């Protein structure tokens, strides 16, 4: 599976491809990534979440709730302060 919007390797900055993915819920998908730079070889897992509808469907699904299921382990982790890892002077 490939992606038209692409992923960048967090280590070497090279392109990644989506090796496979799993649809966990109508609004949630897990992606398994692999860096395409041979010497790097990084692989990782990413998550994709539909956050809102910006254009309604012409074929609405009456069972679609338009929100994440309660059982999805999606947690927003706060970003640490920028100076958290700076060395003390």
Helix (H, G, I), strand (E, B) or coil at 85: helix
User: Residues 58-87, buried b or exposed e (16+ Cβ, 10 A)?
Assistant: eeeeeeeeeebeeeeeeeeeeeeeeeeeee
Task: Say whether pLDDT at 4 is over 70.
Answer: no
Torsion, CA 88, CA 78, CA 18, CA 26, rounded to 10: 180
The answer to whether residue 49 sits within a structural domain is no
The answer to whether residue 10 sits within a structural domain is yes
pLDDT at 86: 60
The answer to whether residue 54 sits within a structural domain is no
Task: Say whether pLDDT at 71 is over 60.
Answer: no
Which residues constitute the domain of residue 20? 1-35
Task: Say whether pLDDT at 74 is over 70.
Answer: no
Task: Say whether pLDDT at 46 is over 80.
Answer: yes
Give the total number of structural domains in the chain: 1
Under the banding of pLDDT at 50, 70 and 90, the label for residue 43 is very high
The answer to whether residue 13 sits within a structural domain is yes
Express each pLDDT in 18-40 by its tens digit.
999 999 888 889 999 999 999 99
The answer to whether residue 58 sits within a structural domain is no
The answer to whether residue 62 sits within a structural domain is no
Determine contact, residues 19/33, Cβ cutoff 8 Å.
yes
């Amino acid at each position: 599976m490939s992606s038209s919007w692409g992923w960048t390797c967090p280590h070497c900055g090279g392109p990644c491809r989506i090796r496979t993915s799993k649809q966990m819920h109508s609004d949630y998908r897990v992606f398994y990534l692999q860096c395409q730079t041979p010497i790097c070889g990084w692989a990782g897992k990413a998550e994709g979440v539909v956050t809102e509808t910006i254009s309604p469907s012409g074929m609405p699904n009456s069972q679609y709730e338009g929100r994440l299921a309660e059982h999805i382990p999606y947690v927003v982790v706060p970003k640490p302060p920028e100076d958290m890892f700076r060395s003390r002077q």
